[in-house]
Amino acid sequence: MDAVPVWLRERRTGVGRPAERSRAEVTAAAIALADREGLAAVSMRRVAAELGTGAASLYRYVDSRDDLLDLMSDEVAAGYRLPEPGGPWLPALLEVCRQGRALMLRHGWLPELVLTRSALGPHGAGLLEHVLAVLAAHPAGAGRKLEAFAVMSTLTAALALNELNAGSAARQSAYLAHVIAAGRHAHLTAALSGGALVPAPRFEDTISRVLVGLLGE
Amino acid sequence: MDAVPVWLRERRTGVGRPAERSRAEVTAAAIALADREGLAAVSMRRVAAELGTGAASLYRYVDSRDDLLDLMSDEVAAGYRLPEPGGPWLPALLEVCRQGRALMLRHGWLPELVLTRSALGPHGAGLLEHVLAVLAAHPAGAGRKLEAFAVMSTLTAALALNELNAGSAARQSAYLAHVIAAGRHAHLTAALSGGALVPAPRFEDTISRVLVGLLGE
DNA sequence: TCCATTCGAGAACACTGTTCGCGAACACCG
DNA sequence: CGGTGTTCGCGAACAGTGTTCTCGAATGGA
């Protein structure tokens, strides 16, 4: 099997008929479509239609739909604007998470990709490099630093997903209301009895606490 | 729109032709299929074939495939064997995570469902009730306790997913090796130069640190 | 000019989730 | 016993999906 990731299969030399489009162009079309109609709308046919071509043509640029999804993830990761590493590590990592959250809220389909598929391409590797640079002076081992990166990504995506779904959570609370009405589950009832009065912890506070727990003060 | 979750739509009264199967039977067939061939193999036609019926028949028990996925998640959550709440909260929560991890390793399709869809049914609500009971004496607010539950679930699922994908991560490391060979990314190179010598932090240690960071000592 | 090589894309294949409609099966009622 | 109301089973169909095959068209280098 050739386990070559998308990012290593490069364009052939200048021989033969030149391509009318680029991989970046296909990726951009897919992102635009996902932004507009969600990840489920990103089918090969619809992306191709977005470009005014046939579905089969996309396979000249991409091996599969999954490849295209990986390209989309990494392309969005190009949007980070990170300062030079330096200074205390916690604020630096929080800034990474803040920007990650902003990117995910702008592209509502991203959290799902980040959570279920963990492929990092060039921009993802650059982000990881930045995090490791920020933690360069930290005494923790490499394993724990890599884990901190994974936890940061996962939690940022999960919290962003919660924010995005906050509107359409009627189904959820409908059933929870029923559970409360049933009488059992005293603690659940107490926790939710405040209605919307339950103060949701703020994003940065949560991430901050988790990172401090993981890496020490 | 009737935003009624699956768990509220109950069987009608004893009038009319009786059903030949039960919702639990359909759920069990779907779980068996997913255990054997993965979540992608769980199509309405294949689940129906597992039961020896036609695909359309399943819609007598379930409104959609998504409903069936929610039923599968909650059914697995019935597998928790939780002791009576009491004693210090940290070991009690760690026990929950340990069992969650075991369930997810046994059902490799579960992490994806837990991460992307957060519907909790009867057993999920029971689990949340247990966690809240364990934290009953804890001074944190309800919002933070609910968040702790979400973080526990998310992190357990994400770490289990990593373990499950550890074998087929050749693609990933192939590209990272290329990135290292490229010369840039000094910190990434240093972090991974140990090869397999990088000690992966242990599951319980990670979860423990995160929970302590979130909820205090 | 020729040609190896690449690209574009229509057609086809094997699927998918879901709906419609009809015949069959049952519980109840007179 | 014969309806009758209601539900169930499910074949057929619809609108899509990812992917492969194939072949004509386009190109740069010789």
Confidence class for position B1, pLDDT limits 50, 70, 90? very low
How many angstroms separate the CA atoms of A212 and A208, rounded? 6
Of the candidates A88, A99, A126, the residue with the CA atom closest to the CA atom of residue A203:
A99
Q: Judge whether B210 and A213 are in contact, CB under 8 Å.
A: yes
Distance CA B128, CA B157 (A): 16
Looking at per-residue confidence, does A60 or B201 come out higher? A60
Residue B130: burial class (beta carbons within 10 Å; 0-12, 13-18, 19+): buried
> Which H/E stretch holds residue B18?
none
Answer yes or no: are the C-beta atoms of A120 and A128 closer than 8 Å.
Answer: yes
Closest-CA residue to B175 (of A76, A143, A31, A10): A10
Residue B143: exposure state from Cβ atoms within 10 A (0-12, 13-18, ≥19): middle
| Cα-based angle B115, B3, B153 (whole degrees, multiple of 5) | 20
Residues 6+ apart with CB under 8 A from A59: none
If you count DSSP H runs as helices and E runs as strands, how many of each does chain A have, helices first?
10, 0
- The pLDDT score that the predictor gives to residue B201 is 79
Q: Which of A135, A159, A136 is nearest to A214 (CA)?
A: A135
pLDDT digits (tens, 9 = 90+) for A144-192: 999 999 999 999 999 999 999 987 777 788 899 899 999 999 999 999 8
Contact A118 B150 (CB under 8 A): no
Closest Cβ opposite residue B158 in set A154, A171, A209 = A154
When CB atoms are compared, the residue of B116, B171, B194 closest to A142 is B194
User: What's residue B53's pLDDT?
Assistant: 97
- Give percent of chain B above pLDDT 70: 96
Is the Cβ pair A214, B211 closer than 8 Å?
A: no
> Contact B5/A171, CB-based, under 8 Å?
yes
Q: pLDDT per residue over B111-137, tens digit each?
A: 999 999 988 999 999 999 999 999 999
Q: Residue A1: which pLDDT band, with cuts at 50, 70 and 90?
A: very low
B146/B139 Cα distance (integer angstroms): 13
Q: Does B143 touch chain A (CB under 8 A)?
A: yes
Closest residue, by C-alpha, to the C1' of C25: B17
Distance CA B212, CA B217 (A): 5
Half-sphere exposure of A113 (CA within 13 A, CB side): 28
Tens digits of residue pLDDT in A35-47 = 999 999 999 999 9
Which bases along strand C come within 7 Å of a protein CB atom?
A: 4-12, 15-21, 24-28
